[in-house]
Chain A
Amino acid sequence: MKKALAIILAAIMCVGLLAGCGSEPAPTTSGGDTASGDPVELTLWLPIYQFGDGISDEDFWNGKLDAFEEANNCVVNLEILSWSDYATQIYTGLLSDEGPDVVYVTETYDLIDAGLLAPLDEYLTEEDYEKYIYLDQGAYNSEGQLCTFPMMAGNPCVIFYNMDMLEAAGITELPTTWDEFMDVCLTLKEANPDVWPFISSWGATNGVSAMLAGFWPFFFQAGGTVLDEEGNLNLDSDATLEALTYINSFKENGIFDDSIVSMDDPNGKFVNGEAAIIINGTGNASTFTEAGINWQCQLGLEGPAGLATNMSVDSLAISSYCEEKELAAELIKYITSAECMDDYHTEIYGMPSLTTDATYTEPEPFQSMYDDYADVMYAVPSYEGSASFADVFQQNVQGMLMGEMTPEEVISESMAYYYDQIVA
């Protein structure tokens, strides 16, 4: 009896296993009127942006999406994702064919290259191009078709100063050039050797984060362009050399100490009063205010090529397998409309308005920056192998800051990796 029972159980396990491996995915109702007249379903993936105590992303969007669902006789299944390994979550989600119909994307090269995103051009009208301010900042496929629709464009990396520390050091005016900035750092160091005059996250756990505020602002101030006309990485340039040489001078002048290569939390140091200056996205300003920091900020410095900094452009996209692309495009337009984004920017996360009819304005001094300096805020485009290249670049910069490499070697070693290991 026991043996028979064991065999039956074993057989059930085998059948279950084989059934699990071999079963076809259930037909989805996503994208398309169902024969029974049930509402069409769209799946929407967005990342979490509510980092404070206010209304949650989920509650906010569910409230907003009710009107869209009613007007279009559809159901939008919302999923709010964490930022942990976000790009990987999105990529693998889109691979399954049962992931999102509409998705918020950050790194776009791999998604477009793999054909996972649908072109949007046919769903956009001339009115849309006039209305949506950042539409030209979207990502294009190799055929020149727009594949992403900017949703969060802004958050430029600006320089935050702890004014109490600057005033204690006798500094009354913010620096404007690279040389003046270095002088301010040296003055701060002399006045208070126990704090970092200026700090960067060269010890971040990934290169993309390290380069964001540590390299790109200086690179653009030196006149660099990330990609050449063929779309290849263009860091083998004088601008890169100038930026790296300037970054290295912080180490040579004792502004960066040995621990800079393991520093991954400059924000925390700035909030705790352990650092006087940091470069970071404008979105961090509220954290500094809440921490009681008496801060001022400026867009950036005037490098050899003038004033510049980097900004982020994250977008919405439609999956290539979505069967209701037109409805999905309408959903994107609804999400990015003034009706939604004015409240979103007020209640969830502040960013520049996306449309000409929006009423939200960023708090000062940031709105003035967007009004006056939009032409010197550059988005870093996505490129092939960007994650591992950034890791290699970061490790080489660490070598430079440890005195083991020159700026020229950082460029040659990093670009050799790019050509030999990524695009070869």
Chain B
Amino acid sequence: MSPLLRRQAGYGVAYITPGMLILLVFCIAPIFMTLYYSFTEYNLAQPPDWLSLENYEKVFTNSQLRKAVVNTVIYVIITVPIQTLLAMFVANFLAEYLNNRYGRFLRSIIFIPTLASYVAAATVWKVILASRGGLLNEVLGIFGIGPINWLGEPTLALICVSLVAVWKSVGYFTIIFYAGIMNISVDVREAALVDGATPRQRFWKITVPQLKPIIYLNVTLGIIWSFQAFDIVYKLTGGGPHNGTTTIAYIIYTYAFQDFRIGYASAVAILLLLVILVVHLIQQHFFEGDD
């Protein structure tokens, strides 16, 4: 290697070292620590006791956790497609038809739920979804529709929680899609216009294919964040009714930070990591296959 290349390599190493150290200390090492703790009984105060596979045996016989896995998967299936498609359509509408000051105002409005804390959002939605005297039921009552027990029925509660999560995150994904659309070459879009492409054709034939990396990013983030759903469940339903909205992350929180059973919570966390990895690999395969 020439001195110049060696020097450049040295610069490269120097530049990436801080970032790598941060990544190593705060991301990589905790994963391996969690993996180790998952084989132990550990309460943070005393040294971990090696248990071998005992935690995992308990994990696979935990009926509450099985329900949480099912709920989490349903939650992901509801939230990710809806928030991705909705954000893409809204971003396209803003870029195509409202690329002016009104559009900028609307973008800000859409982004507000993203800025709101989950606690505030859950509190507001709790008032809206209350079965007696709730805003939504009051509005439905005007049309002669009787009160609906939105958060008191497991399936309906899970759908409500998922839709509140979509409401909370759609603004964030809209902004990313919007940036992606504005990055599409003007030449391509003008060429399509000149060729007489309809708005629908422009969207499906130009915008969507050009946005593929952004779609991949948003779907990936959406899946990861949805699998980690906790705050909205914690504040809106507490996992109820009858475990109808209990998620994996909610269970991890309870085991780790209320019961301080860090070893057991780590085993559940590793399970969640594996589930996310598998889903991510499937998703990656899907996107690569499409290429």
Chain A residues near B152 (CB-CB < 8 A): 203, 258-262
Chain B residues near A204 (CB-CB < 8 A): 238
Chain A residues near B246 (CB-CB < 8 A): 395
Chain B residues near A420 (CB-CB < 8 A): 58, 61-62
The dominant DSSP class at the B interface is loop
- Max chain A C-beta neighbours (<10 A), residue from B17, B63, B149, B240: B240
Closest A residue, CB atoms, query B132: A259
B58 and A424: CB pair below 8 A?
yes
Chain A residues near B11 (CB-CB < 8 A): 3, 6-7
Mask: chain A, 245-277; 1 = CB below 8 Å from B; 0 = not: 000000000000011111010000000001000
Mask: chain B, 247-291; 1 = CB below 8 Å from A; 0 = not: 000000011011111001000000000000000000000000000
B131 and A258: CB pair below 8 A?
yes
Chain B residues near A259 (CB-CB < 8 A): 130-132, 149, 152
Given contacts A10-B14, A17-B21, A114-B43, contact A395 B260 (CB under 8 A): no
Q: Tell whether A417 is near chain B: CB-to-CB under 8 Å.
A: yes
Q: Tell whether B234 is near chain A: CB-to-CB under 8 Å.
A: yes
Total inter-chain residue pairs, C-beta < 8 Å: 133
Chain A residues near B157 (CB-CB < 8 A): 262
A203 and B239: CB pair below 8 A?
no
Given contacts A7-B14, A420-B58, A424-B58, contact A21 B25 (CB under 8 A): yes
Given contacts A3-B11, A274-B132, A402-B242, contact A91 B25 (CB under 8 A): no
Q: Tell whether B241 is near chain A: CB-to-CB under 8 Å.
A: yes
| A: contact size bracket | 35 or more
Expressed in whole angstroms, the minimum distance between the Cβ of B286 and any Cβ of chain A is 35
C-alpha spacing A135/B123, complex, angstroms: 40
Mask: chain A, 413-424; 1 = CB below 8 Å from B; 0 = not: 100010011101
A262 and B18: CB pair below 8 A?
no
B46 and A388: CB pair below 8 A?
no
In the assembled complex, 14 residue pairs joining A and B whose CB atoms fall closer than 8 Å, in A order, are A3-B11, A14-B18, A94-B45, A205-B234, A258-B153, A260-B152, A261-B242, A262-B149, A262-B240, A395-B243, A396-B242, A399-B243, A404-B242, A421-B62
Residues of B within 8 A of A (CB): 11, 14-15, 17-18, 21-22, 25, 43-46, 58, 61-64, 126, 130-133, 149-153, 157, 234-235, 237-243, 246, 254-255, 257-261, 264
Residues of A within 8 A of B (CB): 3, 6-7, 10-11, 13-14, 17-18, 21, 85, 87-88, 91-92, 94-95, 110, 113-116, 203-206, 258-262, 264, 274, 385-388, 391-392, 394-396, 398-399, 402, 404-405, 413, 417, 420-422, 424
Besides A7-B14, A258-B149, 15 more A-B contacts (Cβ < 8 Å) are: A7-B11, A10-B18, A11-B14, A114-B45, A205-B238, A262-B152, A262-B237, A394-B240, A395-B246, A396-B242, A402-B153, A404-B242, A417-B64, A421-B58, A421-B62
